[in-house]
Amino acid sequence: MNAQHLIARYRAGQPYALDPLIEESRLPLYRFCYHLTRSRADADDLFQEAWLKAVRYLDRYRSDKPFLPWMFTITLNTYRDRYRSRARWAAKVKAFFSEEAHERAMTGVPDPNSQPEEHLLEQEMSERLAECLHSLDDKFRVPLILYYYKEFSYEEIADMLGVPIGTVRSRLNTAKLKLKERMRK
Amino acid sequence: MIMRNKNGQTDESDELDMLLEQYMAQAPIPSAQLLSRTKAAAARQSQSQSIIWLRALVAISLVLNLLLFYIIPALLLTTGLGMWMKIGLILAYAVGLQLVALVLYVGRKQVLGWMKKLEVLV
β-bridge partners, B12: B2
How close, in Å, is residue B27 to chain A by CA atoms? 6
pLDDT of amino acid B110:
83
Cβ-Cβ contacts under 8 Å, B29 against chain A: 26-27, 30-31
How close, in Å, is residue B108 to chain A by CA atoms? 19
Closest CB to B39: pick one of A16, A154, A179.
Answer: A16
The arithmetic mean of pLDDT across residues A156-167, rounded, is: 91
Stronger pLDDT, B26 or A142, i.e. the higher one: A142
User: Residue type at A11?
Assistant: R
Instruction: Provide the CA A152 distance to its chain's centre, in angstroms.
Output: 12
Map residue B3 onto helix, strand or coil.
strand
Map residue B79 onto helix, strand or coil.
coil
Mutation test of the interface with chain A: which of B31, B45, B119, choosing the one with the most A Cβ atoms within 10 A? Answer: B45
B56-82 b/e with 16+ CB inside 10 Å = b? Answer: eeeeeeeeeeeeeeeeebeebeeeeee
Closest CB to A15: pick one of B19, B31, B47.
Answer: B47
How close, in Å, is residue B60 to chain A by CA atoms? 21
Rounded Cα distance, A61 and A58, in Å: 5
Highest mean pLDDT among A9-23, A41-55, B11-25, B64-78: A41-55
Stronger pLDDT, B52 or A17, i.e. the higher one: A17
How close, in Å, is residue B47 to chain A by CA atoms? 7
Closest CB to B46: pick one of A15, A125, A155.
Answer: A15
pLDDT tens profile A61-98: 888 888 888 999 999 999 988 766 664 555 555 555 55
Below-70 pLDDT ranges, chain B: 1-13, 49-50, 118-122
Closest CB to B34: pick one of A10, A47, A126.
Answer: A47
Stronger pLDDT, A56 or A185, i.e. the higher one: A56
β-bridge partners, A45: none
CB contact under 8 A, B16 and A10: no
CB contact under 8 A, A151 and B6: yes
Task: Please choose, from the candidates A168, A181, A83, A84, the residue with its C-alpha nearest in 3D space to the C-alpha of residue A129.
Answer: A181
B2 touches chain A (CB under 8 A): no
pLDDT of amino acid A113:
56
How close, in Å, is residue A46 to chain B by CA atoms? 11
Rounded Cα distance, B64 and B61, in Å: 5
Least confident of A122-126, A130-134, A137-141, A145-149: A122-126
User: Rounded mean pLDDT of chain A?
Assistant: 81
B32 touches chain A (CB under 8 A): no
How close, in Å, is residue A31 to chain B by CA atoms? 6
The arithmetic mean of pLDDT across residues A165-177, rounded, is: 92
B83 touches chain A (CB under 8 A): no
β-bridge partners, B2: B12
A63 backbone dihedrals φ, ψ, rounded to 5°: -65, -15
pLDDT of amino acid B12:
45
Cβ-Cβ contacts under 8 Å, A183 against chain B: 16
Dihedral angle at the C-alpha atoms of B10, B16, B18, B21, nearest 10 degrees?
-100
B4 backbone dihedrals φ, ψ, rounded to 5°: -105, 125
Q: What is the DSSP code (8-state) at residue A58?
A: G
Closest CB to A47: pick one of B22, B30, B43.
Answer: B30
Q: Could you tell me what percent of chain A has a pLDDT over 90?
A: 25
Residue pairs spanning A and B at CB distance below 8 A = 92
Closest CB to A125: pick one of B19, B31, B43.
Answer: B19
Q: What is the DSSP code (8-state) at residue A22?
A: H
